[in-house]
């Protein structure tokens, strides 16, 4: 991609980065959401995966938002058609999900106001969120992290959250490494962060060898030592975050039972029209989190003395179906899928 990115440094100078080919246009649904966030003047930026915004399939957009702007961020996304999802047991994440009709896929914004890492609970905090937002840069019309910040955040995400590096993330780390080390000031900032947060579990030389060889197995082998290093200084809060998150996750079935249910749909069509097929497809869609209620309505229309018979509610052995015999002069109608309030899967 060919684009120009500018980032203010601590000395007030600007770093200009250029790629090789023109940046493609963002999908319309995403472009509208980002334009609305920019128009509201909010402090936010992508944490990772800018190159994945242009792909196909369901998409999760990880963003960092200034704590003071989170309420406005939520309002803007909901005005753009994104539903707020419950996040019980997944602090500090906030989820917003919407449907892209043009591309036929689900979009989910995963917003955080602080940087926490860990598996299965994000309990290890790195106090760099304010600095990351201050150093954010504009890349192809989107706010992203500065290269050094993106490298450090992506490294910790792979080491502590995923405990692995997908090939695309590994390649991105290597690209960022050479971009950062080619700039004296950015290289010095990265070295200081490694010394402050990662040593003695990891050293800059370990990262240099991994990026040069394209092999991060040696870095991944230091994961347990890195957790011990980051736990120092926040043992009590680390333990409390893990306890509260795990306790809340165990309570989620009860919390969902107490929550107002989502949208209910009745599928009405003649026999053989595909109601069962549609019901099964809706249940398979991970974005909907739909389920069959286990009943259907059998419509028996009888004419007796010019009166219409009544509807009988009966138990169905075929889940997810609402049946009615064909009636002359009627037509089928359909509704667009609407997600319920269940949380989608976390990063």
DSSP-based helix, strand, coil % in the chain, nearest 5: 40, 20, 40
Reported confidence tier of residue 21, pLDDT bands at 50, 70, 90? low
Residue 254 phi, psi dihedral angles, 5° rounding: -70, -40
Give the Cβ contact number of residue 163 at 10 Å. Answer: 10
The answer to whether residues 265 and 317 touch, using CB atoms and an 8 Å cutoff, is no
Helix or strand run (H / E) with residue 171: helix 167-181
Distance CA 267, CA 80 (A): 28
- Phi, psi angle pair for 203, to nearest 5°: -120, 160
23 closest CA partner among 181, 138, 152: 138
Residue-wise pLDDT tens digits, 53-82:
988 889 999 999 999 999 999 999 999 999
Burial letters 41-79, b for 16+ CB under 10 A, else e: ebbbbbbbbbebbeeeebbbbbbbbbeebbebbbebbee
| Rounded distance between C-alpha atoms, residue 5 and residue 15, angstroms | 8
pLDDT tens column, 249-292: 999 888 887 876 677 778 888 888 888 888 888 788 776 777 77
- For the CA atoms of 304, 305, 308, 314, what is the dihedral angle to 10 degrees? -30
Q: Rounded CA gap, 345 and 347, in Å?
A: 7
How does pLDDT run across 283-340, given as a tens digit for each residue? 887 767 777 765 444 444 444 444 433 333 333 333 333 333 344 444 444 444 444 4
Beta bridge partners of 18: 4
Asked if 292 and 283 count as a contact pair (C-beta separation under 8 A), the reply is yes
When pLDDT is averaged across residues 242-247 and rounded to a whole number, the result is 94
Distance CA 209, CA 212 (A): 5
Residue 271 has what pLDDT?
A: 83
Q: Which residues contact 227 (CB under 8 A, 6 or more apart)?
A: 118, 124, 160
Residues 105-164 have pLDDT tens digits of 999 999 999 999 999 999 999 999 999 999 999 988 899 999 999 999 999 999 999 999
């Amino acid at each position: 991609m060919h684009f120009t990115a500018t980032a203010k440094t601590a000395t007030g100078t600007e770093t200009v980065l250029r790629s090789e080919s023109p940046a493609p246009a963002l999908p319309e649904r995403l472009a509208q959401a980002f334009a609305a966030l920019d128009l509201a003047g909010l402090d936010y930026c992508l944490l990772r995966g800018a190159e994945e915004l242009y792909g196909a399939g369901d998409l999760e957009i990880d963003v960092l938002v200034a704590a003071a702007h989170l309420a406005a961020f939520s309002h803007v996304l909901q005005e753009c058609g994104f539903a707020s999802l419950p996040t019980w047991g997944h602090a500090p994440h906030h989820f917003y999900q919407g449907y892209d009709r043009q591309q036929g896929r689900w979009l989910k914004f995963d917003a955080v106001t602080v940087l926490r890492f860990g598996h299965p609970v994000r309990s290890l905090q790195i106090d760099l969120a304010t600095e990351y937002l201050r150093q954010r840069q504009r890349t192809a019309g989107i706010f992203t992290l500065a290269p050094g910040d993106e490298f450090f955040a992506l490294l910790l995400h792979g080491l502590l959250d995923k405990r692995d590096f997908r090939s695309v993330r590994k390649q991105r780390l290597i690209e960022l490494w050479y971009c950062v080390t080619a700039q004296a000031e950015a290289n010095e900032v990265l070295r200081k962060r490694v010394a402050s947060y990662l040593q003695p579990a990891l050293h800059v030389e370990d990262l240099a060898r991994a990026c040069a060889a394209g092999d991060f197995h040696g870095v991944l082998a230091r994961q347990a030592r890195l957790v011990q290093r980051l736990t120092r200084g926040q043992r009590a809060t680390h333990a409390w975050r893990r306890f509260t998150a795990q306790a809340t996750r165990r309570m989620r079935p009860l919390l969902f039972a107490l929550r107002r249910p989502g949208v209910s749909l009745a599928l009405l069509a003649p026999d053989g029209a595909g109601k069962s097929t549609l019901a099964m497809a809706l249940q398979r869609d991970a974005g909907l989190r739909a389920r069959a209620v286990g009943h259907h309505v059998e419509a028996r229309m009888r004419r007796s003395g010019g009166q219409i018979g009544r509807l009988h509610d009966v138990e169905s052995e075929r889940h997810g179906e609402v049946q009615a015999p064909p009636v002359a002069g009627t037509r089928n109608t359909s509704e667009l899928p609407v997600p319920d309030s269940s949380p989608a899967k976390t990063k």
